[in-house]
Amino acid sequence: MTSLIAHILSLSGWLALLIVFAVPALESSVFLGFIFPGETALILGGVLASYGRVSLWEVLIAGISGAIIGDSVGYLVGREYGHRMLRAWPFRRILKPQRIERAQDYLATRGGRAVFFGRFTAALRVLVPGLAGMARMRYRVFLPFNAAGGATWGALMIMLGYIAGASWKQVANYATQVGIALFVVVVLALILGHLLRTARDPESWAGRQVGRLAGSRPASWLLRRFPGQLGWLSARFQTGVPTGFALTVAVLTLTACGWSLGSLTFSVVHHVNSARLDPRVLSFFVGHRTPWLTSLVKILTWLGSGFVLWPVVIAAGLGLWWWRRQVLAAILPALSLAGAGAGSWLTEVLVRRPRPAAGDWLGAFSGWSYPSLHAAQALAAWGMLAVVVMAGRSLRTRTLLMAGAALIALVVGLTGLYLAAHWMTDVLAGWALAGAWGGLLIISYLFTPQVPAATAPPAARPAARREAA
């Protein structure tokens, strides 16, 4: 493997691009990923681009197209030959038919998310396309999730290699470890979900084990000794109530973002850890500017400006009040935006970090750099709008709303780096500040009693008057 990697790093031109295309393409179509991970080839392609052997855009096109085409071939292989392969002796002894049927039913109905997120795990990236084909998932459903996952994963791996340069070995090792860790998490989550679903049936194996465990002496002692504490812990994972699972997620978000903000602030003040990467990340964005992209970035950065966000949250607040007649839900986006702005200003005054060199700026900027006000405001406003709108919606709608808000916040943060208005840690701190403040607002909202509206929406009043008459 070492000699193979060294040979790849000695290539240039179309031959190097062929390798970058072929390895991801063969990963799931002929199961090459079990031997040579696709992310390794993509990271090496990024390294070759950083050495000037090939163009970065050529590597991106080759790697992303290879990933998408390879999974499409894997889908077709699973569709035509998957069942024959599973009827072979080693698979027949390991996999039970009913489990295969359940997996196929899931992929056929809700498998789009599995296609997308499976791209980022080590083994699922090889198996999911074939399983989707076996499940007869419609290709017009498979293709967009496959393309989105392939483009995101391919671009991320290539850019990691491009930024890492000579340190590619460490980056490749981390990428592989993260992929394996995600695979383990997915498998454990599936096992836990299966056990929780079957535990409700007292006749199932999991139900019998739960009943046996609940009747054991240690469990009985714990229930007698800590009834309040165990009841409180169980309530934290209960869905459908404000102080259940929603509160748990909000508290975890507040904790994680608060810790991240403190860690980033320490790194910036003492110029250690992540702050040391700031010059290299900024030089990458400055070195890859193009006229058309500059024009687009200057437009997109307004999505994090108060001149755009305040009219948006005010109009959205009025619409939410008319729709739900709940004052707190209507003012949450405005409170989130105001808190993010105030927190950013206070942190700027305390840290007093200078902006990047003015010679790299694309625009006129003032004030201190840390944290990024645009990044904080974008996540605070668009994220809270998604949270209040998605109440009562389907899982698909909630996912799309949150993904859209996260995408806008990501784009706004990247515009700050492209325009050289902020360092990387400024943007990360802006997101962390907005997440912590948003988590605090959501916790307050969940603990506030929701009083039903006494009056009907304006559209319903004429009908009410006619009925009364």
Give yes or no: residues 179 and 251 share one domain. Answer: no
Closest CA to 334 of 363, 308, 312, 367: 312
Closest CA to 316 of 260, 370, 383: 383
* Eight-state DSSP code of residue 200: T
Give yes or no: residues 294 and 432 share one domain. Answer: yes
Distance CA 129, CA 132 (A): 5
Give yes or no: residues 295 and 177 share one domain. Answer: no
Backbone angles phi, psi at 391, to 5 degrees: -60, 125
Peptide bond into 227 cis (omega under 30): no
Residue 185, pLDDT score: 61
What separation in angstroms does the CA of 185 have from each of 104, 131, 191, 249?
21, 19, 10, 18
Give yes or no: residues 186 and 251 share one domain. Answer: no
Q: Report residue 432 CA to chain centroid gap.
A: 15
Give yes or no: residues 289 and 141 share one domain. Answer: no
Give yes or no: residues 55 and 145 share one domain. Answer: yes
3 state DSSP class of 360? helix
CA angle, 189 as apex, 215 and 432 as ends, to 5°?
A: 115
Give yes or no: residues 347 and 441 share one domain. Answer: yes
In a domain, 228, yes or no: no
3 state DSSP class of 241? coil
Distance CA 270, CA 265 (A): 8
Which ranges in 95-204 belong to alpha helices (H)?
97-118, 124-134, 139-164, 168-198
In a domain, 461, yes or no: no
Question: Which segments of the chain have a pLDDT < 50?
Answer: 89, 94, 452-469
Give yes or no: residues 123 and 10 share one domain. Answer: yes
* Eight-state DSSP code of residue 137: -
Tell me, what amino acid is at 192? L
Q: Cβ(257)–Cβ(433) under 8 Å? A: yes
Q: Cβ(18)–Cβ(39) under 8 Å? A: no
Tokens (6 digits) for 399: 């996912």
Other residues' Cβ atoms within 10 Å of the Cβ of residue 95:
12
Tokens (6 digits) for 123: 């083994």
Tell me, what amino acid is at 193? G
As for how many domains the chain has, the answer is 2
Tokens (6 digits) for 183: 């695979």
Distance CA 40, CA 34 (A): 12
Other residues' Cβ atoms within 10 Å of the Cβ of residue 51:
13
Tokens (6 digits) for 65: 């197209």
In a domain, 275, yes or no: yes
In a domain, 465, yes or no: no
- pLDDT tens profile 232-263: 666 666 666 667 777 888 888 899 999 999 99
Residue 117 domain boundaries: 2-192
Would the pTM of this model clear 0.85, i.e. be above it?
A: no
% pLDDT > 90, the chain: 30
What separation in angstroms does the CA of 297 have from each of 155, 300, 301, 371, 441?
19, 5, 6, 20, 31
Give yes or no: residues 188 and 282 share one domain. Answer: no
Distance CA 223, CA 373 (A): 49
In a domain, 201, yes or no: no
In a domain, 28, yes or no: yes
Give yes or no: residues 183 and 286 share one domain. Answer: no
Contacts 24+ apart (CB under 8 A), 447-451: 447/242, 447/243, 448/328, 450/242, 450/326, 450/328
In a domain, 21, yes or no: yes
Residue 172, pLDDT score: 56
3 state DSSP class of 85? helix
Give yes or no: residues 187 and 263 share one domain. Answer: no
Residues with Cβ within 8 Å of 366's Cβ and at least 6 positions away in sequence, in order, are none
In the block, tokens 């009907």 appear at 456
Residue 419, burial from CB neighbour count under 10 angstroms (0-12, 13-18, 19+): buried
**Among residues 192, 213, 233, which one ends one of the domains?**
192
Distance CA 8, CA 16 (A): 7
Distance CA 171, CA 177 (A): 10
Give yes or no: residues 309 and 406 share one domain. Answer: yes
In a domain, 11, yes or no: yes
What CA dihedral angle connects 375, 121, 81 and 27, to 10 degrees?
90
